[in-house]
Amino acid sequence: MSQPAYVAVDWGTSSFRLWLVDRTGNVLAERRSQEGMTAAGRLGFPAVLQSHLDAVRAADGLPVIICGMAGARQGWVEAGYVDTPAPLASILKQAVAVPGQHRDIRILPGIAQRDPKAPDVMRGEETQLLGALGMDAAGDALVCMPGTHSKWVSAKRGTVERFATFMTGELFDVISRETILTHAVAGADDATDAEAFKSAVISAFETPANAANLLFQVRSGQLLHGGTPSSAREKISGTLIGLELAGGLAGQVPRNGITLVASGRLQMLYQLAFDTVAVPVRTIGAEDAVRRGLSMAAQSIWNV
């Protein structure tokens, strides 16, 4: 068996993922937990990390590369931001060392767009981007990274020029859980209703100004015409994703389509949404991308 060379950690707001990796980038062991920034803030970041390092038996000298909310002001050690236009390579150069540790631990910075007319921040997605596009990606790319806070990124030759965050996932969550629509989706099972989803995507994409009305129609449509809780859920989801696509594409489709960085159910939903509005998509797995980005960082910093 090959020797472990470093540890890679994606430390989000609500999730923690760790990989023990060898020189060639192969994963030797993996850990996942709910000890994201919120939980780790209570438990202590060093203790959470150490428990997972112990579990994969990471030798004392093994360095650790981290991306995500561990580098936020409310995180472990603040890792700041690279400002746009941000060459992806500069993320690696601005990694911050965690002081007073028995091993070399580095946290990657986020990216900030300080334009007062469109202020925006990302933290964690820059590493996914690095993994998805590579450091010296030729040409232009429009990248959609769906999630709680979806990111749309315009990159040119390995540099993030502009980006925008859409609160789509979080809006879906609170609207389904805490509004009058909660009644409409109560008891929804896993059944997907692709037709309901697609028709909601089209409505919101074509008339985004009606978003708050289209959402209410999920309730009134069920009241007047019936429909399952699952189809109500798909309509909420389709409305919010259609709204996001209208904003993210802004009436234009780049010549070489969109790069979608996503996994699992989100990948399926966004793929279907892009198909519905006839936008070609190249898909990259979100987890692969972040792991690849962390590996590029480890190689660049420690030459492992």
Query: Would you count residue 175 as binding a copy of itself (CB under 8 A)?
Result: yes
Task: Give the CB-side neighbour count of residue 284, counting CA atoms within 13 A.
Answer: 22
Q: How many residues bind a copy of itself (CB under 8 A)?
A: 43
Backbone angles phi, psi at 95, to 5 degrees: -60, 140
Q: Which residue among 9, 155, 243, 294 contacts a copy of itself (CB under 8 A)?
A: 243
**CA-wise closest residue to 245 among 274, 214, 271, 269:** 274
Binding mask 89-128 toward a copy of itself (x if CB under 8 A, else -) reads -----------------------xxx-x-xxxx-------
Q: Which residues contact 269 (CB under 8 A, 6 or more apart)?
A: 146, 197, 237, 241
Reading the block at residue 275, the tokens are: 């198909």
Query: Would you count residue 209 as binding a copy of itself (CB under 8 A)?
Result: yes
Q: Which residue among 221, 229, 254, 257 contacts a copy of itself (CB under 8 A)?
A: 221
Q: Segment contacting a copy of itself (CB under 8 A): 137-145, 154-162, 217-225, 259-267?
A: 217-225
Q: CA-based angle 277:282:288, to the nearest 5? A: 130
Q: Which residue among 30, 78, 104, 170 contacts a copy of itself (CB under 8 A)?
A: 170
Contact 49, 62 (CB under 8 A): no
Ranges within 245-304 binding a copy of itself (CB under 8 A): 246-247, 250
Query: Would you count residue 217 as binding a copy of itself (CB under 8 A)?
Result: yes
Q: CA-based angle 161:165:170, to the nearest 5? A: 165
Shortest reach from residue 211's CB to a copy of itself, in Å: 6
Would you list the DSSP string of 68-96? EGGGSTTSSS---EEESSEEHHHHHHT-E
Shortest reach from residue 20's CB to a copy of itself, in Å: 32
Residues forming contacts to a copy of itself in the complex (CB under 8 A) are: 112-114, 116, 118-121, 149, 164-168, 170-171, 174-175, 177-180, 207-213, 215-217, 220-221, 223-225, 240, 243-244, 246-247, 250
